[in-house]
Chain A
Amino acid sequence: NAGVTQTPKFQVLKTGQSMTLQCAQDMNHEYMSWYRQDPGMGLRLIHYSVGAGITDQGEVPNGYNVSRSTTEDFPLRLLSAAPSQTSVYFCASSKGAQNTGELFFGEGSRLTVL
């Protein structure tokens, strides 16, 4: 059982470049989300989705786009990378649209923007 799979695990970008972080889950979870984790701070929610075709902004959405065309996939797009987006990104999913249960995380994607 793969759970939540994120790719790539590591990425280095130059300022202004764009890229997509991929996230896929095979647990048929309705709720999916993207977090970033920075030193000394808790995980902060970027965007989330409660089902295919439905997305919404979290706490720190600026500079990021998401889409949810299928239940399984929830890619995160960086439109024009900035050094402030250097971080570790985690995709997480939860059974049910209300996210009342356990959050299952991917292994993380470490992004450096030069």
Chain B
Amino acid sequence: RKEVEQDPGPFNVPEGATVAFNCTYSNSASQSFFWYRQDCRKEPKLLMSVYSSGNEDGRFTAQLNRASQYISLLIRDSKLSDSATYLCVVRPLTGGFKTIFGAGTRLFVKA
């Protein structure tokens, strides 16, 4: 089993739709969680950190469920510019270099 698993998609949604991605992780020692965004043939960039209490940044909401070992990303009012691959990233308490990346979920937002 992969340490971090994501549905590869693609998710095809119309503009204005709400879409949610989940990411499951297997290491219960994981302590830090992030969502990165990667545009086609570009480098990953940090979208947002995921806090235990959940957090929101504009149209984006991230949630953490430690009991079930998953994190989620909700995108409201999707824009064409949201089309990208979203990478789930987890980091255990034991070592900062042991950052584990999921393979990503592809999102296409259509007009």
Contacts and interface: CB of A to CB of B under 8 A. Distances in A.
Interface string A37-59: 00011111100101000001010
B58 interface: no
A99 B103 contact: no
Contact of A99 (B43, B44, B87, B96): B96
Contacts of B102: 42
Given A31-B96, A100-B32, A100-B96, A43 B44 contact: yes
Contact of A42 (B91, B96, B97, B103): B103
A58 B36 CA distance: 20
A43 B101 contact: yes
A84 interface: no
Contacts of A102: 46
A33 interface: yes
Interface residues on B, range: 20 to 34
B2, B44, B45, most chain A CB atoms within 10 A = B44
Contacts of A75: none
B63 to A, nearest CB: 20
23 contacts: A31-B96, A31-B97, A33-B97, A40-B8, A40-B103, A42-B87, A42-B104, A43-B87, A43-B101, A44-B101, A45-B99, A99-B96, A99-B99, A100-B32, A100-B96, A102-B46, A103-B36, A103-B99, A105-B43, A105-B44, A105-B45, A106-B43, A108-B43
